[in-house]
Every structure is written in C-alpha cells, then in structure tokens.
C-alpha cells in the first residue's frame, strides 16, 4: 500500500512539473515584449514602449508588428525620420501591412 501511495505521489509531482514546463514554454518572449510595448504606450510611457519594441526586434528581427509599432510610437512623438525607417522595415517584411 505504501509503495502505491508513493508511486501516485511521484506521478502527481511529475505531472505538475510537466504542466509548469508547458506553461512556461507557452509564454512566448516575442509576444511578451510586444504586449509590454503596447501596454507601455497605452500607459503613457512611449520611451518604455520603444524599448520593448526594440527588445522584440532583438528577439526576432523579422517581426513586422514590432517595426510597425515602433514606427507608430515614433510618429506620435513627431520623430518622423525614425518612424519612416521603422515603417519601411515593416513593409519590407510584410508588404500587406495596413498599419505601416
């Protein structure tokens, strides 16, 4: 009886460990950076948003959404040269992007 209880407990712990590992893997760093950028912008922190968009670009330089968001924040700040550069990169990666 004791061995069965021990085996059940070990199986439960292993299952919980797998669940935690799968949950951690589901937190995509790129999506986290994009979400943080949008949240920072909406919270009135455009410089933090720019930092998060740049982090997203570091994670995956082929992410049009990061360049599009970066261009938007730059445009809102009146930094049009940087906005154009970011938008051009977004369009180069995805010519069908509406936001860029």
Helices (H), the chain: 2-26, 29-42, 46-59, 64-77, 80-93
pTM beyond cutoff 0.85: no
pLDDT tens profile 7-50: 554 445 555 444 444 454 468 999 999 999 999 999 999 999 99
Domain residue ranges in the chain:
28-93
pLDDT of residue 95: 93
pLDDT of residue 17: 47
Q: CATH assignment of 28-93?
A: 1.25.40.10
Whole-angstrom Cα distance, residue 77 to residue 21?
Answer: 40
pLDDT of residue 21: 43
């Amino acid at each position: 009886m004791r061995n069965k209880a021990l085996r059940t407990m070990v199986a439960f712990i292993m299952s919980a460990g797998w669940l935690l590992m799968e949950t951690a893997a589901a937190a995509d760093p790129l999506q986290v950076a994009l979400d943080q950028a949008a949240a920072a912008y909406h919270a009135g922190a455009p410089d933090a948003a720019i930092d998060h968009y740049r982090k997203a670009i570091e994670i995956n330089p082929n992410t049009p959404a990061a360049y599009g968001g970066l261009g938007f924040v730059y445009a809102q700040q009146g930094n049009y040269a940087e906005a154009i550069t970011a938008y051009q990169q977004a369009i180069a990666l995805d010519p069908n992007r509406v936001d860029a």
